[in-house]
Amino acid sequence: MKPITILFMMVLFFQGVVQGQQPTDKKATTETVQLYQNLFRLQKTGTMFGHQDDLAYGHGWVYEEGRSDVKDVCGDYPAVYGWELGHLELGVPYSLDSVHFDKIRDWIKTVYARGGVNTISWHLRNPLTGGTSWDVSSKEVVKSILPGGPKHEVFKEYLDKLADFLLSLKTDDDTFIPVLFRPFHEHTGSWFWWGKNLCTVEEYKALWHFTVNYLQNDKNIHHLLYVYSTDRFKTDEEYLERYPGDQIIDVLGFDLYDRGPDYPEALKNCAATITKMAKQKGKIATVSESGGPIATNTKWWTMVLDVIRPYDLSYFLVWRNPWQPAGHGAFAPYMGSPDSPDFLIFYNDRETLFQQDIAPKNLYK
C-alpha cells in the first residue's frame, strides 16, 4: 500500500472516531446526533429500562401528576418511555388507548427535560378499509397507499397529521425533542395490515422509504431516529428479509413477549443475533417491546436480567399497564404487585439503567 493511501485511511479512521456514529438523517438536529452517539456509549455500560405509557396511567389510576407504577415500586422512573399515536391520523383528540395527544406531548417534554428517552409507536388505521391496524382483510393496503395507489392521498393526510404532532415536540426555546420513531412494527407476523402475508417485500420496503422521505424532505423533520422492529425471529435472513436498509434505519429492534417456556432461549437468541448485526452495521440494538406473566412468574425480572446481561442492548421496554380491560394485564410492576421484590433486584443491578442513572449523563449534550 502506498504511504499516501495509508495516510488517507488513517485520516478517515480518526475522523470516524472524533465524529462518532451519525444518524442516517444527514440533517439530524444537534440534539438528535448527541442522543444517537450517547446511546452507543450507554449500550456498552448497561441496558435502559423502558415502559409504555408510564406517566399516563397505571394499575388502578389515570392521569395522576408525577405518578408512575414503576416509581411506586422502586422510587425511580424508567429511562425510556414509549408513547402510542394510533388514531392521531383521524384528527381526534385522544389515542386508541384513550390517552390525549396533548398530554402525550406534555409528557414527552417532561421526559426530555429530565434527560429521559422518548420512543413512539403508531398503530395507525387501515387507510384502505377504514378498519383498525389489525384489519388484515385485504392484501392490497400497502400497495394502495404507495405513490400511484388509490389511497396514497389518504396516507399522506395521515402522515401530515403525524408530522404536525412531531413538529410540535419542542422545548420552550424551540429545540426539537429527539424521538425514536418505530412505525410498521412486528411486520414479520401477519396481524397488522403491513404484516408479512399482507404485502410483498418490495412494498414493505417502499412503505418505509416513502414515509422517511416524506417526513424528512416534505415536512422537514430531522429530530427522529428510526427504529426497525420485527417480531420474534430465528435467523439473520428472517430478520433482514424486509429490512429497508442501512441508509434509513438507526436502531435494530425486535418485539418478543413471554408466551411460554421457550421465552428465555428465544430472547437470548434474538438478543445475540441483533447485537451482532448492530455491531456489524454500526447501529443501536434494542428489545423494543416485551412483557411477561409477572403476576404468576414472580422471578420474571431476574430471569430477563440473566438473559440480557451479556449483550449490548440499549433498552428493554415493557408494554403498558392497562387502566381498562385490554386483553392483557400489567407488564410492569405496580404498588404491591407480586413481582415487585424481584423487580427491585432487577432495578438495583448495575446492568439496568433508570432515570437516576442516565440523568447525570445528559444524553442530549
- Of these, 69, 72, 89, 97, which contacts ligand BMA (CB under 6 A)? 97
Q: Closest CB to ligand BMA among 96 and 240?
A: 96
Q: Closest CB to ligand BMA among 125 and 283?
A: 125
Q: Give the angle subtended at the CA of 194 by the CAs of 313 and 136, to the nearest 5°.
A: 130
Can you tell me which residue has the cell 406534555?
A: 106
- Partnered with residue 228 across adjacent β-strands are 252
Q: Closest CB to ligand BMA among 52 and 340?
A: 52
292 in Cβ contact with 337 (< 8 Å): no
314 in Cβ contact with 39 (< 8 Å): yes
Cell output for 47:
441496558
Q: Does 123 bind ligand BMA (CB under 6 A)?
A: yes
Residues 6 or more apart whose Cβ sits within 8 Å of residue 8 = none
- Please report how close the Cβ of residue 53 comes to ligand BMA at its closest, in angstroms: 8
* DSSP label of 189: S
Q: Closest CB to ligand BMA among 62 and 113?
A: 62
Can you tell me which residue has the cell 411486520?
A: 187
Is 289 a known active-site residue?
Answer: yes
- Please report how close the Cβ of residue 84 comes to ligand BMA at its closest, in angstroms: 4
Cα gap 126→128, rounded to integer Å: 6
- Please report how close the Cβ of residue 326 comes to ligand BMA at its closest, in angstroms: 4
Q: Does 151 bind ligand BMA (CB under 6 A)?
A: no
- Active-site pick, 186, 238, 265, 351: 186
Q: How far apart are the first and last CA of the chain?
A: 39
224 in Cβ contact with 215 (< 8 Å): yes
- Please report how close the Cβ of residue 86 comes to ligand BMA at its closest, in angstroms: 6
- The residue range among 111-119, 186-194, 260-268, 318-326 that interacts with ligand BMA, by the rule CB under 6 A, is 318-326
Which residue, judged by CB position, is nearest to ligand BMA in the bound state?
326
Is 186 a known active-site residue?
Answer: yes
101 in Cβ contact with 165 (< 8 Å): yes
Cα gap 45→312, rounded to integer Å: 8
Q: Does 25 bind ligand BMA (CB under 6 A)?
A: no
Q: Does 90 bind ligand BMA (CB under 6 A)?
A: no
- Of these, 51, 143, 187, 320, which contacts ligand BMA (CB under 6 A)? 320
Q: Does 86 bind ligand BMA (CB under 6 A)?
A: yes
Q: 3-state DSSP: the chain helix, strand, coil percent, rounded to 5? A: 40, 15, 45
- The residue range among 9-17, 106-114, 225-233, 319-327 that interacts with ligand BMA, by the rule CB under 6 A, is 319-327
Q: Report DSSP letters for 220-247, one per residue.
A: ----EEEEEEESS-SSHHHHHTT---TT
180 in Cβ contact with 117 (< 8 Å): yes
Cell output for 123:
398503530
- Of these, 25, 84, 250, 312, which contacts ligand BMA (CB under 6 A)? 84
Cell output for 104:
402525550
Q: Closest CB to ligand BMA among 46 and 58?
A: 58
Q: Does 326 bind ligand BMA (CB under 6 A)?
A: yes
- Please report how close the Cβ of residue 127 comes to ligand BMA at its closest, in angstroms: 18
- Of these, 181, 319, 323, 343, which contacts ligand BMA (CB under 6 A)? 319
Q: Closest CB to ligand BMA among 84 and 342?
A: 84
Binding site for ligand BMA (CB under 6 A): 84, 86, 96-97, 123, 319-320, 326
Catalytically annotated residues:
186, 289
